[in-house]
Amino acid sequence: MPLAKLLILCGLLLVALGVCLMILTRLHLPLGRLPGDITWRGRNTTVYFPWVTCLVLSLLGTLLLWLFSGRR
């Protein structure tokens, strides 16, 4: 694939991701604040790891890839 087509494809994917994030914020979904996400606040630091959110997004991504792949 030529570089120009690859860059256009990457740009379109970024636009689609941005639109999805805008829709998710307007729906007030608690992504990043699900039960099980870890937040630790120290005196001078905050450690945050949304592992449940990562699992949910990974499952959704796997499902979408499975649905749109040609092998079933």
Whole-prediction pTM: 0.59
Average pLDDT, the chain: 88
Per-residue confidence (pLDDT) for residue 64, from 0 to 100:
85
**Alpha carbon distance 38, 51 (integer Å):** 7
What contacts 49, CB < 8 A, 6 or more positions away? 37, 38
pLDDT at 71: 67
Cβ atoms of residues 52 and 35 within 8 Å: yes
Q: What is the pLDDT of residues 25-53, one digit of tens each?
A: 888 877 778 888 999 999 999 998 999 98
Quick one: pLDDT at residue 45? 96
